[in-house]
Amino acid sequence: MSAPPRHLPNVPFPAYAYLPGAAPHPTRDPEGHSYQAEAEDAVVTCPPDNWRSCAPYLFGVDLYNAGYLWEAHEAWESLWHVSKHDPPQAQFIQGLIQCTAAALKTRMGQPAGVEKLGAQGTERIESTALAVTPHYMGLDIPSFVGEFREFVAGSPTHAETRPMITLED
């Protein structure tokens, strides 16, 4: 399965995809890929209809699709915090974070975490489709949710079989 084209091709990926317990923590360990990295400016809000210009969102998609699952979660975390004034967007971003964490739990060999986080994440993303629109921030929600639920139901042993996030206008 090949990843969709990158949205921010000029932004480099980290040196490695962090796997808890198997690699140095990216920010806390002196050997980490982002240890003492310059803190980025505070994330500003990202209106859902302006998602094409939202670097944290797009870079999170790039990271997720390339297999940098922990890093994708981190890219979306600050966006999630500033989106809490917009409940559908906050639910959507939190759902992406949880689906990403579910895929990471696959790599960690934690099937209960895959099931729990996969269910929570897809429910949150689906709630956005029900509250706003089935095509949100470039994502065809019914398609992604269906594919992710199928991924989780298949008791995955490899995160590489997760569905990709494809954004379309």
| Contacts (Cβ under 8 Å, ≥6 apart) of 32 | 18, 24, 25, 26
Strands 135-136 and 139-140: antiparallel
Query: Please, are residues 95 and 128 in contact by the beta-carbon 8 Å criterion?
Result: yes
Reported confidence tier of residue 65, pLDDT bands at 50, 70, 90: very high
Query: From the CB of residue 134, how many other CB atoms can be counted at a distance below 10 Å?
Result: 14
Structure-token match 């091709």, residue found: 9
* Token pair belonging to 73: 């979660």
Using CA atoms in the order 149, 166, 142, 156, what is the torsion angle rounded to 10 degrees? -10
Domain assignment present for residue 64? The answer is: yes
Domain assignment present for residue 20? The answer is: no
Share of the chain above pLDDT 90, in %: 78
pLDDT at 31: 67
- The maximal CA–CA distance of the chain, rounded, in angstroms, is 45
Give me the domain span that covers residue 146.
Answer: 55-161
Q: What is the mean pLDDT of residues 12-37?
A: 76
Q: What is the mean pLDDT of residues 15-32?
A: 75
| Contacts (Cβ under 8 Å, ≥6 apart) of 125 | 91, 92, 95, 96, 99, 139, 141, 144, 145
Domain assignment present for residue 154? The answer is: yes
Domain assignment present for residue 87? The answer is: yes
Domain assignment present for residue 84? The answer is: yes
CATH number of the domain encompassing residue 130: 1.10.3450.10
Domain assignment present for residue 85? The answer is: yes
Higher-confidence residue of 9 and 39: namely 9
Domain assignment present for residue 30? The answer is: no
Q: How many domains does the chain divide into?
A: 1
Domain assignment present for residue 18? The answer is: no
Residues of 72-99 as b/e, b for ≥16 C-beta within 10 angstroms? Answer: bbbbbebbbebbeebebbbbbbbbbbbb
For residues 123 and 138, give the distance between their C-alpha atoms in angstroms, rounded to a whole number. Answer: 18
Reported confidence tier of residue 169, pLDDT bands at 50, 70, 90: confident
> Given phi > 0 = left and psi -120 to 50 = alpha, else beta, which region is 50?
alpha
Query: From the CB of residue 55, how many other CB atoms can be counted at a distance below 10 Å?
Result: 15
